[in-house]
Amino acid sequence: MFGDHIVDNLIQEIKKLKKELDAVILVHNYQLPSIQDVADYIGDSLELSIKVAVEVNAKYIVFCGVDFMAEQVAVINRNAIVLHPDPSAQCPMANMITLEDVRRARKQYPNTPIVMYVNSPAIVKAESDYIVTSANAVNVVKAIDSDVIIFGPDRHLAEYVAEVTGKTVIPIPPNGHCPVHVKFNPFEITNLKTLYRDSIFIAHPECTADVKKQADFIGSTSQMIKFVRNCQCKHVLVGTEIGLIYRLARENPDKVFIPASTSAICLDMKKITIEKVYRSLKDKVYRVEVPEEIARRVVKAIENTYRVLGVEPPWSKK
Ligand code: SF4
């Protein structure tokens, strides 16, 4: 750990390097507070991808989050050099699905659309028909003209989508999950609700069904941010990775945020440190590269997704 003055110096150096190199820093909502403080853009993976598609013209993009998110940015912005400060920051759920899983499902259910959660490797997305986020998964599945859908890799999001849409959703792999969001426990939430009687509980769709049953609101991190902004509540029990609380508290000083589980920490997200961001800019490491053919097929699946929702992809309006 660094002392405050070292962190302050690094932040100053990062600001200088950003200007010199023509770089921007994109930061996921679950990142450490010190990383959120140096962000040019902060958001969930969908928000950040759209920013990259329509607003960012920088030469370098430093992506602070896990590997599949940095890869996604490299897929969408083919002009910038995308840097990931620590390639060992990987999403365990994204690593639960393989190309073989998708190919096997395609063979077993030949005419069934394959919907892939954005939390997956580019090579898996390239083999899929649609790419969704936790914010739009329900609407995309509703809009697809099929009563049966293959969905990977999060089985809890798949179950939620099936429940809301009434469609048959086949999860691939059968037990893909986020190790952080399965940590929420329904009994702990009941206890917290008893302790904070006026509280509301917001949950991410990656949580298990018995946790979501207790939620007053279910949504992605960006949907949670909007919901909290507009709600007349004092105490909010937060059912997602603990990093979101920093942003929620900063934006809503009149409200109190309580983690619904103190162990909901994504250690991979926390691997990005201010020192690594500095090194990333200084040494221009670690470059994220996605082969042209894979990127082309991923973009095609993303465009299919926008079109099934009846909207044009953001980059087509540029
Ligand atoms: S919180 Fe879960 S889904 Fe998100 S990066 Fe961490 S392990 Fe992956």
Task: Based on the fold, state whether residues 277 and 145 are members of the same structural domain.
Answer: no
Closest Cα to atom 6, ligand 1: which residue? 266
pLDDT tier, 317 (very low <50, low <70, confident <90, very high otherwise): low
Mean pLDDT (the chain, rounded): 96
Q: Is 47 in the pocket of ligand 1 (CB under 6 A)?
A: no
Does any ligand 1 atom lie closer than 6 A to the CB of residue 66?
A: yes
Rounded-to-integer distance, Cα 56 and Cα 80, Å? 9
State percent of the chain over pLDDT 70.
Answer: 98
Q: What is the CATH number of the domain that holds 32?
A: 3.40.50.10800
For ligand 1, atom 5, the nearest C-alpha belongs to 91
The protein residue with its alpha carbon nearest to ligand 1, atom 2, reads 178
Going by pLDDT thresholds of 50, 70 and 90, the confidence category of residue 2 is low
High-pLDDT (> 90) share of the chain, %: 92
Query: Tell me: the pLDDT tens digits for 201-218?
Result: 999 999 999 999 999 999
Tens of pLDDT along 235-244? 999 999 999 9
Q: How many domains does the chain have?
A: 3
Our answer on whether the CB atom of 236 is closer than 6 Å to any ligand 1 atom is no
Domain that holds residue 197: 181-259
Residue 64 has pLDDT above 60, yes or no: yes
The reply to whether 197 and 253 lie within a common domain is: yes
Digit-coded pLDDT (tens) for 99-153: 999 999 999 999 999 999 999 999 999 999 999 999 999 999 999 999 999 999 9
Measured from the CB, is residue 87 less than 6 Å from ligand 1? no
> Is residue 83 left, alpha or beta, with left meaning phi > 0 and alpha meaning psi from -120 to 50?
beta
Question: How would residue 160 be classed by pLDDT, with cut points 50, 70 and 90?
Answer: very high
Domain for residue 217, yes or no? yes
Considering the domain architecture, whether residues 219 and 237 belong to the same structural domain is answered as yes
* 105 in the same domain as 251: no
Closest atom, ligand 1, to C-alpha of 266:
6
The reply to whether 155 and 185 lie within a common domain is: no
pLDDT at 17 over 60: yes
Ligand 1 atom 8: the closest Cα is on which residue? 91
Whether residue 35 lies inside any domain: the answer is: yes
Does residue 116 sit in the same domain as residue 135? Answer: yes
Give me the pLDDT at residue 318, please. Answer: 62
* 122 in a structural domain: yes
Residue 81 located in a structural domain = yes
* Same domain membership, residue 248 and residue 275: no
Q: 156 and 205: one domain?
A: no
pLDDT of residue 33: 93
Has residue 162 been placed in a domain?
yes
Is 264 within a domain?
no
Atom of ligand 1 nearest to the CA of 94: 8
Q: What is the pLDDT of residues 34-59, one digit of tens each?
A: 999 999 999 988 789 888 878 889 99
The pLDDT, as a whole number, for residue 55 is: 85
Q: Does residue 174 sit in the same domain as residue 300?
A: yes
Ligand 1 atom with minimal separation from the 268 CA: 6
Report if residue 307 sits inside a domain: yes
Whether residue 212 sits in one domain with residue 171: no
For ligand 1, say whether the CB of 140 is within 6 Å of any of its atoms. Answer: no
Domain-located, residue 174: yes
Residues 75 and 200 in one domain: no
pTM here is 0.96
Q: Which of 14-18, 22-26, 75-79 has the lowest mean pLDDT?
A: 75-79
15 and 154 both lie in a single domain: no
